[in-house]
């Protein structure tokens, strides 16, 4: 039975992409699968997948690498799938000595903007160069690449174009999707924001559009549903100030739910939003939540991101907008109210496209085959 080991520093052992999709797909195809994360402490077996996870994220780099090395030596995998450069570097010796394959699954920008926060201008440039060199080194050491989206292929796919690679988007498995297509109520509308609550992710843009909407049509009962939380203390203070500023009459804030129940929490929503700022990093991203909104059957209003346009083109189930243009966003919401048949069409289109093109079942076999070929090499 071939062995596949997942190594990740910053993702939890039950990460939706790693555990619920990739690991389970390999398990179902006869692989022995293990996940090692440095994010939280846990040891055991969940759904036939071995977990050996440690809470050493704040420890030294050498401590983290030594943890990964020990897991590699004990498990003896034929393939290692790494989510970050540190995991790739840590597995270098094992890969070389055992002729194993090392697949670098690139899903995040490296370096990300958050990694450079807190540095002055010149220091940030130095850190960006340093982190980029680490990324290139990880690319050099890897034997294969998986890219979560086309826009994240740069620079590794171009510097190491001779290495085997594939695009593996963030499509969810239908088993985790609870379809809930709604019909618009003429008097009430529920607008939904999910994920990290911060300025960068667009909470202020969302509130501005909703505030303008209630000014235009005060007769509408607007319900605001927020599923998520702040991460940093500065975000918490920022969010508190926004709540005080806008004083919405009907707002519900729910903590992030367990992965298996995420789409259940969306059942009450009429329209789902993601109005993140369009900076370089965001613009080249393909937000994972978009596919979950589609699966549930929710029309969406999203920032006009290059990552979405390049992957999907024009949306048949919503609109791509300037996230700071509250006027146009409020008009799009009103247009659904004036044209309930358009709302229904977009809701049905969202579910239809998910079923036909954007679910895990359409790409699962290509992923498993890619891993198999990395072992057979």
Three-state DSSP string of 205-230: HHHHHHHHHHHHCCCCEEEEEEEEEC
Q: 306 Cβ partners below 8 Å, 6+ apart?
A: 151, 283, 284
pTM listed for this prediction: 0.94
How confident is the model at residue 337, as a pLDDT? 94
Instruction: Report the C-alpha gap between 308 and 151 in whole angstroms.
Output: 10
The radius of gyration of the chain from alpha carbons, rounded to an integer in Å, stands at 22
How confident is the model at residue 120, as a pLDDT? 79
Other Cβ atoms less than 10 A from the Cβ of 3: the count is 18
pLDDT 10s digits, 61-117: 999 999 999 999 999 999 999 999 999 999 999 999 999 999 999 998 877 777 777
Mean pLDDT by 10 residues, the chain (377 residues): 95 96 98 97 97 95 97 98 97 97 92 76 79 93 96 92 96 97 92 96 98 96 97 94 96 93 95 96 93 98 96 96 98 96 98 98 98 92
How confident is the model at residue 148, as a pLDDT? 94
Whether 41 and 55 have beta carbons less than 8 Å apart is answered as yes
How confident is the model at residue 291, as a pLDDT? 98
Whether 340 and 183 have beta carbons less than 8 Å apart is answered as yes
For the chain, the maximum distance between any two Cα atoms, rounded to a whole number of angstroms, is 70
Q: 244 Cβ partners below 8 Å, 6+ apart?
A: none
Look up residue 262 and give its two tokens.
Answer: 């995420």
Whether 290 and 350 have beta carbons less than 8 Å apart is answered as no
Residue 370, by phi and psi: left (phi above 0), alpha (psi -120 to 50) or beta?
Answer: alpha
Look at residues 315, 277, 272 and name the one whose alpha carbon lies nearest to residue 296: 272
Q: 254 Cβ partners below 8 Å, 6+ apart?
A: 225, 226, 227, 265
Main-chain phi, psi angles of 225, to 5 degrees: -115, 120
Share of the chain above pLDDT 70, in %: 100
Sign of CA dihedral 212, 267, 344, 298: positive
Main-chain phi, psi angles of 188, to 5 degrees: -135, 145
Look up residue 341 and give its two tokens.
Answer: 């048949």
pLDDT 10s digits, 204-246: 999 999 999 999 999 999 999 999 999 999 999 999 999 999 9
Strand partners, 3: 32
State how beta strands 188-196 and 101-106 pair. Answer: unpaired
């Amino acid at each position: 039975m071939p062995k596949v080991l997942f190594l990740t520093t910053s993702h939890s052992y039950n990460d939706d992409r790693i555990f619920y999709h990739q690991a389970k797909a390999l398990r179902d195809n006869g692989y022995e699968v293990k996940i090692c994360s440095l994010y939280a402490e846990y040891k055991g077996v969940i759904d036939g997948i071995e977990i050996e996870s440690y809470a050493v994220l704040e420890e030294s780099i050498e401590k983290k690498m030594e943890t990964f090395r020990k897991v590699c030596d004990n498990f003896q995998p034929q393939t290692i799938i790494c989510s970050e450069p540190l995991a790739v570097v840590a597995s270098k010796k094992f890969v070389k000595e055992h002729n194993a394959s090392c697949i670098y699954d690139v899903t995040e920008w490296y370096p990300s903007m958050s990694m450079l926060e807190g540095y002055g201008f010149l220091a940030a440039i130095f850190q960006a160069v340093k982190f980029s060199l680490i990324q290139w080194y990880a690319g050099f050491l890897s034997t294969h690449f998986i890219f979560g989206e086309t826009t994240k292929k740069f620079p590794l796919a171009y510097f190491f174009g001779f290495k085997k690679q594939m695009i593996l988007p963030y499509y969810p498995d239908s088993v985790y999707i609870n379809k809930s297509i709604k019909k618009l109520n003429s008097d009430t509308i529920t607008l939904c924001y999910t994920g990290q609550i911060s300025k960068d992710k667009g909470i202020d843009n969302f509130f501005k559009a909703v505030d303008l909407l209630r000014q235009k049509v005060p007769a509408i009962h607007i319900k605001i549903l927020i599923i998520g939380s702040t991460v940093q203390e500065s975000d918490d203070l920022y969010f508190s100030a926004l709540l005080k500023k806008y004083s919405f009459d009907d707002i519900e804030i729910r903590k992030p739910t367990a992965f298996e129940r995420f789409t259940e929490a969306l059942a009450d929503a009429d329209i789902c939003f993601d109005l993140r700022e369009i900076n370089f990093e965001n613009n080249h991203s393909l937000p994972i939540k978009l596919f979950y909104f589609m699966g549930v059957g929710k029309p969406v209003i999203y920032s006009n991101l290059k990552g979405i346009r390049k992957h999907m083109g024009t949306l048949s189930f919503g609109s791509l907008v300037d996230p700071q243009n509250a006027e146009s966003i409020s008009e799009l919401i009103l247009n659904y109210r004036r044209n309930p048949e358009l709302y229904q069409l977009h809701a049905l289109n969202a579910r239809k496209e998910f079923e036909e093109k954007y679910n895990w079942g359409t790409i699962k076999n290509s992923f498993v085959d890619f891993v198999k070929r990395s072992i057979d090499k």
